[in-house]
Amino acid sequence: DAGITQSPRHKVTETGTPVTLRCHQTENHRYMYWYRQDPGHGLRLIHYSYGVKDTDKGEVSDGYSVSRSKTEDFLLTLESATSSQTSVYFCAISATLGRRGGEQFFGPGTRLTVL
C-alpha cells in the first residue's frame, strides 16, 4: 500500500470554526490532491498540488484553501466551516499526471461533520 496517512480520521466541529486536515505521504510523489466524497456526486476535486508551494483550484474550491510547504505534507483548511462542508475528504497522490498514465493512490479518508 502507498504510504499515505490522513489526520484526523474523524472530526466533529461547529459552524464557523476553522478546520485543518492533514495529508502525509512517504512516497515522495510530486502530485497531491484533495477530494470530497458525497452521495450522488462521486469524488470532486477541491485543490491539487504539483509541487512544493505550487497549487491550483479544482472543481469545488470555494471555502477551502491549501498549503504545501514540504513534499510530504498537503494541508486542507476550511477557513470557516459550514454544514455544507460535512463530507468525507480524501487525499490522493500520484507520481505522474494522469495524461501520462499515472494513477492516483488514495488515503483512508477523513470524515468531517460540521454541526
Partner 1 sequence: AQSVTQLGSHVSVSEGALVLLRCNYSSSVPPYLFWYVQYPNQGLQLLLKYTTGATLVKGINGFEAEFKKSETSFHLTKPSAHMSDAAEYFCAVSPGNQFYFGTGTSLTVIP
Instruction: Give me the residues that bind partner 1 (CB under 8 A), please.
Output: 4, 33, 35, 40-45, 48, 50, 56, 58, 90, 92, 97-101, 103-109
Provide, rounded to whole angstroms, the least separation between the CB of residue 15 and partner 1.
26
Q: Which is nearer to partner 1, 13 or 105 (CB)?
A: 105
Q: Which of 97, 106, 115 is nearest to 37 (CA)?
A: 106
Q: Which is nearer to partner 1, 6 or 85 (CB)?
A: 6
Q: Which of 109, 114, 112 is nearest to 4 (CA)?
A: 109
Cell 494541508 sits on residue: 75
Q: Which is nearer to partner 1, 8 or 98 (CB)?
A: 98
Provide, rounded to whole angstroms, the least separation between the CB of residue 105 and partner 1.
8
Q: Which residues contact 18 (CB under 8 A, 6 or more apart)?
A: 77, 78, 79, 80, 81
